[in-house]
Structure formats: C-alpha cells, structure tokens
Amino acid sequence: MKNVAPSIEPGSERSTRARVARLILEHGPVTAASLGERLGLTPAAVRRHLDALLADGMIEPRTVRPRGQRGRGRPAKLFAITDAGRSAFVHAYDGLAGSALRFLAERMGEEAVAEFARAQVADLVRRLEPIMREVPEDQRTQVLAEALSAEGYAASASKAASGGEQLCQHHCPVAHAAAEFPQLCEAETEAFAQLLGTPVQRLATIAHGDGVCTTHVSPVRIRESKETGR
C-alpha cells in the first residue's frame, strides 16, 4: 500500500512535498518551524509532509542541544536529507560519468582522470573569470555560490566563525563518481582558489559521506601576507 500512496495524492501535495525536500536539501538540517516560515505552511501541513518524507526514508531527524545550555533545555529537532533523498535529486549522468571515468582510468591511467577533471571545471573558470575581475573581493564567494547553484549544486555562501567565508554545496550531481574518483573534487577545489584569488580548503564532501560539501575560503589578507612575505 505504501507504493500506491504517491499516485493518489493530489498534484499540489506532491509538489509541496518536493519543495519541502528540496528546501531540506539546500538549507538543512532545518527545523519544522523554519520550513513552515519559508514555505508559508501551517505546523500541521509541515508535519504531514515531514512524516511522509520520513516514512519514505528521504529525510532523517536529528537532535541538537542549543549552545550554552549544557544539559538544560529541550534539544532542537532538525531534519536532514538522507542518502536516498539526495539520490532522488542526483542527475542520471552520475552513473554514466562513473563508468566513463573507470574506462578512462583503465585505458590511460589515473593522471588522465585528473586531466579530465581539470578540463571539466575549466569551462566554469573561463566563464567566471571575467566576471570575478569586476566583482569586489568580498562578494566573490557569493557570486561563485550563485554560479554553482545554476549548475545544480544548490550552493550558498556565509561568513565563517574562524574568519573568512564558507562555501557550501548542498547537492552534488556527480557524488557517486566523485566518491570513486577524488580527482573531481580536487580539480574543483583548485578552480575555486583560482576564481576567488585566495587559498581555499575543502573541509567536507558529500562524496565522502558528509551532508554538505564545505569549502573554507581564506580571508584576502592571508593571501596578501603570503605574497608579501609578512
């Protein structure tokens, strides 16, 4: 009976549920209240969609105790996308990409895979470099995030608590291929540093089982101090 339910749901219900899942993918982990505010849904409506997504294994609950409470207070309940949920958004070419890269590695070696990975991100660099030259340095990470979102990576940019910025990609169309061939992630990281004009460090990747691909973008002053030797 569980497999029949989606076919008899009204189209608007399926559409809203997809929006809930997409929002969790792009901004999760998030609370039910936050979802309701973003989508203009009542608490009952949010709960209905969350229950359905939980039952289908698309999302999972997490509890986080508010900072500074040390055992006091009620832990916050958050909802995060699962591997199954993320796979629902993965493009069909992920499997084909993995097969193609395996063929390339077998015939021409691992360096050929690295060259292919760099060639893939070279187009993004070519398109964005002229734009980045016109963008103030403090806005470049946001511009890069918007460009990656247009490519299907559901990216966002934010200030990092330790200084600098964080570039997060909540979706990776080639996550399964990247899990087998880290050259894809390495080439992407090199491209980010080139476009942003400052050192970057990949802290987490979806390909390695993390919920989000997270890249730390160093403050421009770090780059300048390295160039001047101070």
79-128: pLDDT as tens digits: 988 877 877 765 545 666 778 889 889 999 989 999 999 998 998 899 99
Residue 201: pLDDT band with limits 50, 70, 90 = very high
Checking if the pLDDT of 3 tops 90, the result is: no
Same domain, 37 and 11: yes
Q: Which percentage of the chain shows pLDDT scores above 70? A: 81
Same domain, 211 and 98: yes
78 beta partners: 62
Residue 188: pLDDT band with limits 50, 70, 90 = very high
Same domain, 143 and 117: yes
Helices (H) and strands (E) in the chain, counts: 11, 6
Domain with residue 27: its CATH number is 1.10.10.10
The answer to which of 22-26, 36-40, 53-57, 201-205 has the lowest mean pLDDT is 22-26
Instruction: Give the helix/strand (H/E) hosting 167.
Output: strand 165-169
**Other CB atoms closer than 10 Å to residue 218's CB: what's the count?**
18
Q: What is the pLDDT of residue 11?
A: 53
Q: Which percentage of the chain shows pLDDT scores above 90? A: 45
Q: Calculate mean pLDDT across residues 161-172.
A: 89
Instruction: With beta carbons less than 8 A apart as the criterion, state whether 202 and 227 touch.
Output: no
What CA–CA distance (Å, rounded) separates 169 from 153?
6
Same domain, 97 and 74: no
What CA–CA distance (Å, rounded) separates 230 from 216?
22
Instruction: State the residue range of the domain holding 123.
Output: 93-228
Phi-psi region of 64 (alpha: psi -120 to 50; beta: other; left: phi over 0): beta
Beta-carbon contacts of 137 under 8 Å, excluding residues fewer than 6 positions away, are 197, 198, 220
Same domain, 209 and 139: yes
Checking if the pLDDT of 2 tops 50, the result is: no
How many residues comprise the chain?
230
Asked which of 28, 53, 87 is the last residue of a domain, the reply is: 87
What the block records as the tokens of 168 is 């997060």
If you average pLDDT over every residue of the chain, what do you get?
82
> Is the sign of the CA dihedral 15, 21, 26, 31 positive or negative?
positive
Q: Calculate mean pLDDT across residues 31-55.
A: 92
